[in-house]
Structure 1
C-alpha cells in the first residue's frame, strides 16, 4: 500500500488531472454493509481501481481550480506515524503536545507575535476564522457572556470585512450567534482591497445608530483574485476604534516564508489573530489549519471548561497544563502537527518559501502570456498566485463556463470559474509545488483551442 502511494505521487503527471466518474464505479458505493470480512489485499485493490483514479486531482501539477495544496511525501509518511501512535492531542502530558507547541512557537516568531501568543491546529481556516470571531466576541462582551448568553447583553455587535472576503467569515458570524446581517460588507478598490475610507464611514455610521463595532476581518489573499487588504491601514483603524483585527490568511499568510513576497503582508504582525492553512501554500497533506492569537490569556478564557475528568495536576499524565482543549472546541484531536513538523524539518522554511515564490512567478508568466494573446482578457490584477481571465467572444459568460468544464474533462489542466465584477472568469490558482511553466503553457493553449471550438 505504501509503495502504491509513493508510485502514485511519483507518476502523478502521467495521469489526467481529473476524470468523470463512471456510473458503474459510483454505483459500487451504493451497497449494504458487509457482514463477512474481505482480505486486506482485496480491499486495497478496490481502492486502487475505484477510489484512487477518481479524486479531485490536486496532487497533479495541472490542478489550478481552487487553492488546494499539492501535499508532499514526507507529510504522507508522517501521517502514517501519527496514525500508528493514535495520539489524542486534546491534552495530557505527552511529547506530541510539545511538537505542536514547537510549531506554534515557530509560527509565533514567523509573524512577530509576542511570547504570550497562543496557537492551535484545527481542520482549516473556516474553523480558525470562527475561533477568531469567538475570542473577539468574548473580549467585547466579557467572559461572563459564556454563562449568561448573548441575550444578557443589550449591545448589538457588528463586524466588518470586504466584499471579496471568504464566505467562512459570514458563516462564523452565524455560528457565533451574531447573525450574518451584523457583518458589514465593505466595498473594494481597483486592486480588490478593502476600501479603508468606506470602512471608517461604516464604523462611524454604526456607532451613530447605537451598534457596537467589535471586529474587522482582513483578507491576506482573497478567495477570488488573491488580493491583500491594506493591513497597515486596517491595523491603524482597529487600534483607533478599539476593534479586534483578524486576518484571514488562509493561503497567503505563509508568504511570510518567502522574502520576496513577505513585504506585501506588512502589517500582519499587528493583527490580534491570524488564520491560515498549512495544507495550502505549506504543502502539508490535508488537513492542517491553524489559528494564532496574540493574547493567549483571552484565547484560553474563551474556551477553557473545567470538568472533573479534565482535572489538571503537576505530576503524572494530568500535568502539562494548559492543554489544547483549552483553546478550542475539540477535546478529541489528531496529531496534525507531526506532518507540518516533519516538513519544516526535512525541507526547511527557506525551501518552502522558494516554492511559494515559484508559484507567484508562474502566475506572472501566465499574466504576461494572457496579455500577448488578443483572444484573452485579464480580469483582475495579479498580486500573488491567482490569475483571473477570460476568452473574448460573444456570450462570453456561457462560453467561458463551457471552456472550464472542457478543460477539466480533458484531464490536461483544471482551473475553476468565479465572478469578477459581474462577469464569469476562468480562475487559475497556482499552488502546487509540482506545477511548471509547461503547465501554464498547456492551460493557455487548451483555452484558446476550446474557445475557438465553442465560438
Structure 2
C-alpha cells in the first residue's frame, strides 16, 4: 500500500533536472573563465566592504539565480595564488583539470572514513603510489588528509604511542618527560602537534642551524645527551625537507643515522620539499628521505593539486593501526557487504567523516604524469636561481641567503638608512606590490633583517614575471623614498 502523501514529499533535489543542468553549465563556464584568465590582471584584490553583506545569511531561501550571482561575485577575491606572480608563502596554484575530479567527487558524495566502496580503493592506490615514489616498504600505511599540519599530528601520535607501548591511548603520557628535536627553522605545525598531543610545545627542542640554515647535527647530539642526563626521554627527531624561510633541506641521511643510533622515531616534514623527489635536480639532495619512520607532505603545494590535499606515510603500518584503531559496535566490520574492506581509513587517523580528496590527486597524477610534474618543479628551482642572479646584479638589492631550492630572500638597500628604516622600507615595498596588484611576495626575517621572500611553487610563473618583479620593486622603492 502506498501512502497518499508520497507524491508530495519534499526533497533537496531540483524539480527540473534540465534547468538544473543548464544552471550548472553556466557556473562551470564561469569557473573555467576564472581559471582561463588566471594569468591576467591583478594578482590580489582586496575584498570590497560589501562582500560580507552579500554573503550574510538571513535564514530565508533565495532563488538559484540569486545564489549563483553571489557565487560569481566572489570569484575575483581569492588570495591570488592562481596568478603567476603570486610569490608569497608556499601556496599551490591549482589546475583547471581538477574541476572534473571535484565534480565527480561531489556527485558521489563519498565518505571515505570507512566501509567497502570505490572511493577508498582509489585512496589506497594513491597511497601505494606514494609508497613506491619514496621507496618505502610494503608494510607502509598512509592517509590523504587536509594538509601537512594534520599529517604531522598523525605521524607524531604514532611516534608517541610507540614510545609508550600504546598505553598512552588510555592512560596518557602519565608524567613521562618525552622530548623531541627539530630545527629552529622548522614549521610551526610540529610545535602545534606537541601541544595537541599533550606533550607541551616546550618538550620540542629547537636545535640551532648552521650558516646554511640546516639543523646543526653536533648541537643535536649534545642536546640529546643532555636531555638523557637530565632524566628526560628523547623519542623523536623531525627533519625538515624544505624550510619555510629559505627552502633548505636538513641532512636527512645523517638525521636517520642519529635516529637509528639513539633509537628515536625519525619524522620528516616534507610539506613542499618532499615532492622534489620527482625532479632530477633535487632528487640527489633528498637522500635519507626513504629512511623516515613517518613522512608528511602536501599535494596542494608543489604538485599543484587543488586545495586541500596532504598525505601522511608511516613505515610501520601495524604501529599506525595500533595508534588509532578503535571499532565500536556501530562500526563493526564484516567479511562481506558494505561493512567489509578492513582496515578502514578511520583506523589510521582521527576522522570518520572524510571527503574524497584522493580522486583529484589520482586524476592529476594520471593526466600529467610524474615526468612532467617533475619538470615543472625543476623549472621553479631554475626560476628562483635566476631571480637570485637578478638580485646580485642589481646595485640596490641584496641577497640575504643563497638560493637553495625555490625560495629567494633579498631586500632593497639604500645608503644612509638604518637597519630599522630598511626593514620598514622593505615591508612597505611588499605591501605596495600587493595593493597595486603587481605581485604578491611575502616577508620574513633573516638574521634580524626583514626580507622580501619570493617563493615559486607555481606552474604558471614565467621568467619574465621575475624581470617585472625586480623592475617594480625598484620603481616602488623610488616612489617611497622620494622627498
Q: What TM-score, normalized by structure 1, do the two folds share? A: 0.97
Of residues 50, 53, 69, the one that matches 1:45 is 69
Of residues 421, 425, 433, the one that matches 1:399 is 425
Q: Deviations over 1:49-93 (max 9, x none)?
A: 2x1111111011110111000111121210111011000001111
Match of 2:34 in 1: 8
Match of 2:225 in 1: 204
3-state SS, counterpart of residue 428 of structure 1: strand
Which of 246-255 and 19-28 deviates more?
19-28
Of residues 168, 175, 195, the one that matches 2:189 is 168
CA contact (8 A) 1:89 1:333 kept: yes
- In structure 1, C-alpha distance between the alignment counterparts of 2:71 and 2:214, rounded to whole Å: 44
Residues 255-266 of structure 1 mapped to structure 2, 5 A cutoff? 255-266=276-287
1:428 aligns with 2:449: no
Structure 1 residues 108 and 398 mapped into 2: Cα distance closer, same or farther (>3 Å)? same
Of residues 311, 317, 321, the one that matches 2:332 is 311
1:447 aligns with 2:473: yes
TM-fit CA distance, 1:374: 0.8
Residues 6-405 of structure 1 mapped to structure 2, 5 A cutoff? 6-29=32-55, 31-35=56-60, 37-49=61-73, 51-151=74-174, 154-393=175-414, 394=417, 395-405=421-431
- In structure 1, C-alpha distance between the alignment counterparts of 2:454 and 2:293, rounded to whole Å: 31
- In structure 1, C-alpha distance between the alignment counterparts of 2:50 and 2:356, rounded to whole Å: 36
CA contact (8 A) 2:40 2:83 kept: no
RMSD value, Cα: 1.0
3-state SS, counterpart of residue 425 of structure 1: strand
- In structure 1, C-alpha distance between the alignment counterparts of 2:478 and 2:228, rounded to whole Å: 54
TM-fit CA distance, 1:309: 1.0
Q: Which runs of 5+ in 1 are unaligned?
A: none
- In structure 1, C-alpha distance between the alignment counterparts of 2:429 and 2:308, rounded to whole Å: 31
3-state SS, counterpart of residue 158 of structure 1: strand
TM-fit CA distance, 1:42: 2.0
CA contact (8 A) 1:120 1:292 kept: yes
TM-fit CA distance, 1:112: 0.6
CA contact (8 A) 2:39 2:82 kept: no
- In structure 1, C-alpha distance between the alignment counterparts of 2:252 and 2:422, rounded to whole Å: 35
CA contact (8 A) 1:260 1:357 kept: yes
- In structure 2, C-alpha distance between the alignment counterparts of 1:148 and 1:438, rounded to whole Å: 58
Q: Deviations over 1:96-127 (max 9, x none)?
A: 11111111111001101000100101110011
3-state SS, counterpart of residue 23 of structure 1: coil
3-state SS, counterpart of residue 214 of structure 1: strand
TM-fit CA distance, 1:39: 2.2
Match of 2:6 in 1: none
3-state SS, counterpart of residue 433 of structure 1: coil
Q: Deviations over 1:131-179 (max 9, x none)?
A: 111000001111122112222xx43100000110001110000000000
How many residue pairs get aligned? The number is 450
CA contact (8 A) 1:413 1:442 kept: no
3-state SS, counterpart of residue 404 of structure 2: coil
- In structure 2, C-alpha distance between the alignment counterparts of 1:19 and 1:200, rounded to whole Å: 48
Q: Which runs of 5+ in 2 are unaligned?
A: 1-26
3-state SS, counterpart of residue 335 of structure 1: coil
TM-fit CA distance, 1:418: 0.7
TM-fit CA distance, 1:32: 4.2
TM-fit CA distance, 1:423: 1.1
